[in-house]
Amino acid sequence: MNNWILLFTNNINIKDVGKPSMPSLEDRIAELVCAQFEELPAKSRPTVNGDGTRGWVPLSGIVVIRDNEEAECVALATGMKCMPSSKIPQARGFVLHDWHAEILAIRGFNAFLIQECHSLANSPGCTSPYIRHRVPDEISNSRGLQPFTLQENLKIQMYCSEAPCGDASMELVMSAQEDSTPWPVPIEDQGEDNIGAPLNGRGYFSQLGRVRRKPSRPDSPPTLSKSCSDKLALKQCTSLLSSLASLLVSPENVYIDKLILPSSHHVPTACERAFGATGRMQPLTDKQWAGGYRYHPFEIQTAEREFRFSQRGAEVVGQSLKASNISALWTPRSQETLINGVLQGRKQIDPRGASSVCRLKTWRAVLDIAALLAIPALTRALSSLSYAELKDTELLKDRRRVKEETRELALAGWIRNVGGNFELPVDRDAENHLL
């Protein structure tokens, strides 16, 4: 209940944005997300360590703006870690692979929409300010069976306290180097016809417009998880919906309209190169696909407001910095604190540490909704024996084509993570015992 009270307390009416002395809309969106974070319990925040260093962490939030000019934060997250490729097979659907703030916030947004779908499916007379049932004509005129769609009066904006890792932040990486001399490019990456594997997160920083892996320390186990710049670029084509959520909700209007970054962490040329129609996404300009998918480049705006646990926030008070291993996840319906992709206090190998946004719980939640709706084709697809089979279902054919063409035309060099397949327990009691 407290989260719902905070939700409405932190709503913003933006009719007065243009008046003198009023902060910009972007600053008010940033303030909304930061204020919601401040309401989280202390265990969800970075701490001052025993050696006097202060923890810092990126924050991302997803905000919806209604026609009546009211803004509402519907998901936020902090985090800056991901799982090494060697440990992916151990995740078994209950450990998150990537909990960078941007990706975790998007997972939270998807979980929130799925919960809204459950409420509508479970109570036929219920309504939601976020989604609605699609009418039969809408479903018959589209290839998908999705029974729900986002309310048309909503626009989606995303706030990030740091420039997304990867291509959108490479100039910032360069400027932070004591020696900004470009590194020699690996032989296998040289030549126009051989772009090679995705580059290390911060390595070979003079190579721009490239798909990159998540940044990490040189001594960290390698990962194939793609940078947040690359994943957000792809989301401009697939929408914010995950594959599972896209079985329930039409993607047509679930695209980010505006990405808000701190002015201190915004390099216009980098962002246009990473996301814009004149950068690496240019081959997709005006591209549309079946199923309601399209290339929808988001507008990028800046805010002066700084998150107090950002790198700059800590520098203001003169404290040394240390990356925090604590991640927070909040939606109007749930709140979690995570470490290493599982709930704080649980070991990574313990299924009881599964986050509400993990693949296993998301699969089960969508299957439960399909059962309530009694849509045979949807139920059959969700009753697949494995997660890999589910992702290969005919109902996701349009989405797979979008991803394949986007990677081929704009995000070449994208190598998929492998080894993350798992099965959904047939016995619900056994599953409950497992989790």
Q: Residue 404: enclosing H or E segment and its boundaries?
A: helix 397-409
- Please give the pLDDT value at position 9: 41
Mean pLDDT lowest for which of 33-37, 403-407, 428-432?
A: 428-432
Confidence of residue 190 (pLDDT cuts 50, 70, 90): very low
Of residues 124 and 342, the one with the higher pLDDT is 342
- Please give the pLDDT value at position 426: 67
User: Does 7 have pLDDT greater than 50?
Assistant: no
- Please give the pLDDT value at position 6: 33
Would the CA dihedral through 405, 283, 100, 183 be positive or negative? positive
Q: Residue 325: is it exposed, middle or buried by C-beta count within 10 angstroms (0-12/13-18/19+)? A: middle
Contact between residue 101 and residue 309 where contact means Cβ atoms under 8 Å apart? no
- Please give the pLDDT value at position 302: 97
Confidence of residue 408 (pLDDT cuts 50, 70, 90): very high
Average pLDDT for 131-160: 89
Of residues 146 and 68, the one with the higher pLDDT is 146
Mean pLDDT lowest for which of 199-208, 285-294, 296-305?
A: 199-208
Confidence of residue 191 (pLDDT cuts 50, 70, 90): very low
- Please give the pLDDT value at position 11: 58
Cα distances (Å, whole numbers) of residue 155 to 16, 152, 255, 260, 305 = 19, 8, 8, 14, 22
Name beta bridge partners: 64.
Answer: 72, 156
User: Does 356 have pLDDT greater than 90?
Assistant: yes
- Please give the pLDDT value at position 182: 53
Hey, what are 123's tokens? 């109570």
Would the CA dihedral through 240, 342, 114, 4 be positive or negative? negative
User: Does 316 have pLDDT greater than 90?
Assistant: no
User: Does 299 have pLDDT greater than 60?
Assistant: yes
- Please give the pLDDT value at position 16: 53
Q: Residue 50: is it exposed, middle or buried by C-beta count within 10 angstroms (0-12/13-18/19+)? A: exposed
Q: What is the DSSP string of 261-306?
A: EEGGG--HHHHHHHHSTTTTTGGGTT-B-GGG-B--PPEEEEES--
Which residue is catalytic, options 26, 72, 102, 171? 102
Of residues 142 and 245, the one with the higher pLDDT is 245
- Please give the pLDDT value at position 53: 83
Taking the model in full, what pTM does it have? 0.91
Give the pairing of strands 12-13 and 70-78: antiparallel
User: Does 17 have pLDDT greater than 70?
Assistant: no
Q: Where are the alpha helices (DSSP H) in 10-67?
A: 25-38
- Please give the pLDDT value at position 141: 63
Average pLDDT for 83-91: 91
User: Does 271 have pLDDT greater than 70?
Assistant: yes
| CA–CA separation, 102 and 107 (whole Å) | 9
Confidence of residue 8 (pLDDT cuts 50, 70, 90): very low
- Please give the pLDDT value at position 2: 40
102 among known catalytic residues: yes
User: Does 56 have pLDDT greater than 90?
Assistant: yes
User: Does 64 have pLDDT greater than 60?
Assistant: yes
Please state, for a pLDDT cut of 90, what percent of the chain lies above it.
68
User: Does 428 have pLDDT greater than 70?
Assistant: no
Residue 250, classed as helix, strand or coil, is: coil
Cα distances (Å, whole numbers) of residue 85 to 97, 222, 328, 344 = 9, 6, 23, 22
Confidence of residue 379 (pLDDT cuts 50, 70, 90): very high
Phi, psi at 37, each rounded to 5°: -60, -40
Hey, what are 67's tokens? 């026609």
